[in-house]
Structure 1
Amino acid sequence: MFDHNDGQERKPTILVVDDTPDSLRFLTTTLSLAHMTPLVARDGLAAITLLQHTSPDLILMDALMPKMDGFETTRRIKANSAFQQLPIIFMTGLTDTDDVVRALKVGAIDYVRKPIVVEELLARIHIHLANARVTHASQVALDTSGRPALSVDASGRPLWLTPMAREILERLFPEWPAISRALPAPLRLAIQQLQEMDPTSGTCVPVKSGSSTLEITLLRRTSAHHWLFRLAERREGEEERILAARLGLTAREAEVLLWISRGKQNREVSEILAISPRTVNKHLEQIFEKMGVENRASATAIAVTTLAD
């Protein structure tokens, strides 16, 4: 992050939420010595109030506090779409695994155990600040380019959506509340299944919605926790029309090319389109000639690129 006024890298701002004076003194001193700007909130309500007036780069959240504990505080912060990307690191003396899982479920990105080891804390802060910068830069780039894209964490929970992605989801899933912290169920399940496959960039899965198909394509993983996807809405027959118009093909040739680009062999295409294998071969000859290619691999590559554009 840079200050546009003087070109110098500005100090990251860290909000410390803790009710213990000794912990606050220790943490604010540690952060100041590490060239960070500490802000302080002595309980969850104070933290939420403070966030109405400022946007820190990261929050250090104590788990156990009076009035409102760290779990409820984090849940309320993450319920605000403006803070869904804000990294929150829990500080806890709790040793039960269930408490750690609970912290991650409400929106924490990491945790450190008390008593805190300075080197470990600073290392985790630097890692999550760097990841947040990359994610923010990706979102800004996609927002300004007007592309439908979204980012999710390792459990499929949305971190952010571009305006165009939100528009597509609202149209295809009218019952889905845009303010929800979860994606529409069909999309969420498809993304979770894709994540379990350990996919490579470019892997695509379809989700059917009425007469449209929503294609979800993995662009990249910015870290172990951030997955970036592109969305594309395909209406029934739209892909065939695109291929026919852009590549100068007849409607039937476009249908044949579409199925070939999906990895179907000639015999399978003949069964799908209810035409003879010989007719499929004749169409392919015409397709290759019109596209100026010699084989199905080249034709497939052009078809895939055409539809992606």
Structure 2
Amino acid sequence: MTPHAQKDLVLVVDDSPGSLGMINDTLDEAGLTVLVALEGAQALNITQSITPDIILMDAIMPGMDGFDTCRHLKSNANLEHTPIIFMTGLSDTESIIKGFNAGGIDYVQKPVNSSELIARIKAHLNNARLTQSARMALDASGQFLITTDQTGEFKWATPQAYQLLHQADLSESWLKEKLSEALEGFFSSRFNKDKNIQIHQSSKTIELAYIGQDTKNNHLFRIIDLELTQEQPILQAAFQLTVREAEVLTWLAKGKSNADIALILSVSPNTINAHLAQIFKKLNVENRTSAAIVAINKIRKATL
């Protein structure tokens, strides 16, 4: 490890001085940075301002026990993908299941074996990084994607999906509170998962196309804007536009800035400027406002 390499940050939540001393020495020797919380409430307070890379959690503590602490930590969006490993002398099946249900990802017995603990920490840190990298790749792909857990509860969405959902008056609070209801039929055993799910909100309808499951058994859906699928061909045919030019003009007509359109289509703002230059020529206009007005009028007439 180079002197300037960033160390992984481990939050250890344990009320036992003996365990803390041994664990701190073990983690320090492995090149990890250690933060200590002596109780659940202190762990919650620490994570309000600091996001650890991984958390080691004692199950049995006075006041708020490790299971409740874990549940509270997992309700923090910043910690949703932070691995939590339980450390405890409890070995009964009920306690182990309780730890996993609370949001823990692994379970190690006390007294902790140092080599085993480091091996587990490294494995879970690596898996967490792979998961984060996959999400970043999807975010950068410009696709309209959302994921849910196995009951339909909302997990996350790409930035492009959030924009499209916002246009449909589907806020993040709606996603967290109502999406599972909208997907209730999908999770029934008789539902044909090749069939798209329609969601009606205000005057707008979107469809969710099922893609599949990720490595954590979360369900991945692609959002389809039915208006866009109708409007783009109208503009393309009316003004002899390319497919990409029609996409740019459609988003322009919806009031999006060049930067927004670049983000949605996963291209650079300079590329959007180049497309707009061609669009202006084909529409015989000189600026964005005029192009948007022409596009809106054409769509309105074609859909009356």
Please give the range of the TM-score, normalised by the shorter of the 2 chains. Answer: 0.5 to 0.7
TM-score by length of 2: 0.62
The one-letter code of the counterpart of 1:217 is I
Does structure 1 residue 95 correspond to structure 2 residue 91? yes
Q: What is the aligned partner in structure 1 of residue 181 from structure 2? A: 185
Residue in 1 that maps onto 2:24: 28
In 1, Cα distance between equivalents of 2:182 and 2:16? 45
Q: CA deviation at 1:60?
A: 0.5
Shift of 1:142: 3.1
The code of the aligned residue for 2:161 comes to A
> For 2:178 and 2:99, how far apart are their aligned partners in 1?
17
**Counterpart AA for 1:232:** I
2:77 partner amino acid: S
**Are the aligned partners of 2:13 and 2:39 in contact in 1 as well (CA < 8 Å)?**
yes
Q: 1:111 and 1:246, CA in 2 relative to 1: closer, same or farther beyond 3 A? A: farther
Deviation at 1:135, TM superposition (A): 1.7
Q: 1:115 to 1:204 in 2, by over 3 A?
A: farther
CA contact (8 A) 1:155 1:192 kept: no
Q: Residue deviations 1:198-223, cap 9 Å, x none?
A: xxxxx9652222343211323x73x4
In structure 2, what is the Cα distance between the partners aligned to 1:171 and 1:184? 20
Q: TM-score, normalised by structure 1?
A: 0.62
The structural deviation recorded for 1:56 is 1.0
Q: Of 179, 201, 207, which residue of structure 2 is paired with 1:213?
A: 207
- Does 1:233 pair with 2:224? yes
Rounded to whole Å, the distance in 2 between the matches of 1:189 and 1:156 is 10
Q: How far off its partner does 1:94 sit?
A: 2.1
How many residues were matched structurally?
234
Q: Judging changes above 3 Å, is the alpha-carbon distance between structure 1 residues 141 and 180 closer, same or farther for their aligned structure 2 residues?
A: same
Aligned-pair distance for 1:190?
3.6
One-letter amino acid of the structure 1 residue matched with residue 106 of structure 2:
D
* 1:136-155 alignment runs, 5 A limit: 136-151=132-147
Tell me the amino acid that sits aligned with residue 19 of structure 1. Answer: D
Question: Which whole-Å CA distance do the structure 1 matches of 2:121 and 2:188 have between them?
Answer: 28
The one of 100, 106, 117 equivalent to 2:102 is 106
Residue pair 1:152, 1:160 contacting (<8 A) in 2 also: yes
Query: Who is 2:157 aligned against?
Result: 161
User: Runs of 5+ in structure 1 lacking a partner?
Assistant: 198-202, 248-309
Q: Which moved more, 1:27-36 or 1:87-96?
A: 87-96
Distance 1:181 1:11 in 2: 37
Q: What is the SS of the residue equivalent to 1:184?
A: helix
**Counterpart residue number, 2:12:** 16
Q: Give the AA of the match of 2:103.
A: G
Q: Aligned-pair distance for 1:87? A: 1.2
* Structure 2: gaps spanning 5 or more residues: 238-304
Q: What is the CA-CA distance between 1:154 and the residue it aligns to?
A: 6.5
How far is 1:169 from its partner?
Answer: 5.0
User: What SS does structure 2 have at the residue aligned with 1:123?
Assistant: helix
Counting only pairs closer than 5 Å after superposition, residues 218-297 of structure 1 correspond to structure 2 as 218=212, 221=214, 223=215, 225=216, 227=218, 229-235=220-226
Residue 47 of structure 1 corresponds to 43
The one-letter code of the counterpart of 2:38 is R
| Alignment partner, residue 119 of structure 1 | 115
